[in-house]
Chain A
């Protein structure tokens, strides 16, 4: 670790946080700001769906007949578990335990993948058995765009975390230096989870009340 190259590298890494009057990490701060902004993003998507649900009593078909609430609950559970793994992975890398970090990260990726698989199954089922497509009025439009956008966020998160998993096998990976980057990716992942918590209640469960 005492080679000049490594020293220069470490210095370059610490440079962007030279004076920080707030004591906040710069990367974490920008991620939180982005997530705050993303609240408006998903807020708009969910609100569009709820508005059309509110003003049209007659959709042609009862959403309860389309939804498979047991499957969606299982999906919610899966995403929740992936969040647990993510929290544990961040904790592991802060402790410098790379092995535990990798296993937990694999857990996140597998559970995230399962969630996506569930969504693909759900979309497929809706299109072929219930006839709910993008073109079937406002319900199809808002439902697919909202849940699809969430799915894209999940997929991007998986790609990001997978990149970290692969990077952790390269010689450049340094748990001390990269812990904060993983934590930042983790924040994004948890946010995707809370968006699903809201969608699960506001879009699925409410229909049954």
Chain B
């Protein structure tokens, strides 16, 4: 029968010494078996536990670690690009390698760094902010993680084949020598046709396709979680803004990814089966690819920035000790930005000659997006206004975000005017613009969010002034790199150029950019050092170091595996703040889990198996294009593995065991 004894430990045990209060566990005796008789990977060693986990916190941490790894890879690619451009007529890397570098830099930073870093925050925070035990479909969540890893590996494996090619171990009969994607991150047709690019394009197609599956699965999961798994009293208009932005981002993902899935499928058919979707000889229209790509690509931009806006909207009120100014307006603006994001894709294509009416319409709609974005910025400034501002590291980075993102926004408004855009298209001005919104926007927010929530998820507080030095270096290095690019673009330096001539006048500014890039990289290095030393020997953080506003600060740091001992009952927006400082009617309530305790699902191998099949499909299809024998069969084998994985997953059942936390441990504050 169920044990009703409560765990006896010394009260107020410092979280660092025993980070997890192990509550009594109700497990069936012996090795647990699934419905189909396989042994479940519960309670095994460290590695098996992480590979098979379905816990949103562990999945979030893995998203963060993998994405940080790819962020570094993308950063190294960027440094190589900057080193090549440092001086005129340089030949540090060959033009072919240069094309590969900028393609992989863009693809890596967008799909393998910023998106999964946002996913890391979704995973870590959403169930905690809405007062839930986990996401709606924990195994699907693990599948999203491993499928993301599979897609990332497919794209990056291309480097190994390129190395093998350089060593003479691998070659494509009568084909191209480029094994790494080199068609730019938006892979414009007809560059992606077999005549013009090698198997790098196939790695790119299949990698993105697999990443799309991961993103859609994760997005569906989070929408359902936010709609259906909110704690009692957590009405939609009481959700933390970060949760709102996650919801909107996830909606963007499920509607934006299908068009690119279809378009990538069409390119794949063009390359493998001789169809004519984008092949000019057969009547294909390369411009159709541009449309389909940007129907995805523009919402993708908001997929990258909305989570960042959510993070900032959590940090600013906390360190201003004021509620967010105009909560409903901030939420509504986010929704409007998301919705309008589907109606502006052609502003990426002004110079293709869409016709006057279309150009004017897309130009107007693009300008319209500036309105909700401006509303948000004014709301953030309104939040700061009259607040008791504490310049902690997350706050410094958040303030940097507002300023830098605004600069990116201003150059964005310049692009929305079609005649001006004709001047800026494909120049370094555009490069400056989108790095201001992606580094000055997304990355600064992610750094700020990391400093903000690190104490919560490691149980340790960062210390010393390294964080401030990091913030300063990143901001200075970033501006030094990208501000001169505005001028470089306006004096004619084209984007994606391998080298430039002596007399162009671009030399001095390029040197400045390169120095800035290495400063920025040094700042990121300091960030990693600070991260590691905090995790290793930071002082105990306590449950609520910032006097936080949302539910995640109500539970121990790091959060126990079951999250909330008692399901919180929310009485107000900014639930925890209201509990601490509000009226007596706004105190958090708590619902006990009942005599059976808290149900925890079993770990599972199946998400990993299903993802591994997709990895095999992607790699073998790219190699099939290279003429490697039997790869078609390998790809079919991959599909079989995925199918078997899904069937076993469906049949094994969620399984699980029960936990009995002590009545006063964690959960809603009493």
Residues of A within 8 A of B (CB): 9, 11-12, 15-22, 24, 26, 29-30, 33-34, 36-38, 40-41, 43-45, 48, 51-52, 55-56, 134-135, 137-138, 140-142, 144-145, 149, 163, 172
Contact = CB atoms under 8 A, between A and B. Distances in A.
A26 B222 CA distance: 11
Contacts of B392: none
Q: Which of A9, A51, A56, A134 has the most CB of B within 10 A?
A: A134
B358 interface: no
B136 A16 contact: yes
16 contacts: A11-B596, A12-B599, A12-B654, A17-B228, A26-B136, A29-B224, A29-B227, A30-B136, A30-B223, A36-B255, A37-B258, A48-B288, A55-B285, A56-B283, A135-B274, A163-B650
Contacts of B35: 172
A15 B654 contact: yes
A137 to B, nearest CB: 5
Contacts of B227: 22, 24, 29
A41 B228 contact: no
Nearest to B28: A8
Contacts of A149: 265
B266 A48 contact: yes
Given A15-B654, A29-B227, A55-B285, A40 B277 contact: no
B254 interface: yes
A34 B656 contact: no
Contacts of B270: 141
A30 B220 contact: yes
Contacts, number: 125
Nearest to B251: A33
Considering the complex of A and B, which 7 residue pairs feature the smallest CB-CB distances, nearest first? Answer: A41-B258, A141-B275, A40-B258, A37-B254, A44-B262, A135-B274, A138-B283
Interface stretch (B229-237, B375-383, B395-403, B582-590): B229-237
B276 A44 contact: no
Nearest to A141: B275
Contacts of B275: 134-135, 140-141, 144-145
Contacts of A37: 216, 220, 254-255, 257-258
B261 A41 contact: yes
A173 B521 CA distance: 58
B273 interface: yes
B210 to A, nearest CB: 16
B259 interface: yes
Contacts of B655: 12
B282 interface: yes
B283 A30 contact: no
B567 interface: yes
Contacts of A51: 285, 288
A24 B284 contact: no
Interface in B239-294: 254-259, 261-263, 265-266, 269-270, 273-277, 282-285, 288, 292
Q: Which of B133, B220, B228, B257 has the most CB of A within 10 A?
A: B228
B166 to A, nearest CB: 35
B82 to A, nearest CB: 37
A45 B255 CA distance: 14
B277 A141 contact: yes
Contact of A137 (B220, B223, B283): B283
B137 interface: yes
A184 to B, nearest CB: 12
Given A37-B216, A138-B282, A21 B230 contact: yes
Given A12-B656, A26-B228, A141 B282 contact: yes
Contacts of A22: 227-228
A141 B276 contact: yes
A134 B276 CA distance: 8
A145 B254 contact: no
B232 A21 contact: yes
B258 A44 contact: yes
A209 to B, nearest CB: 23
B320 interface: no
Nearest to B596: A11
Contacts of A41: 258-259, 261-262
Contacts of A145: 265-266, 269, 275, 277
Given A41-B259, A51-B285, 10 more contacts: A12-B599, A17-B228, A22-B227, A30-B137, A36-B255, A41-B258, A44-B262, A44-B263, A140-B276, A141-B270
A33 B270 CA distance: 30
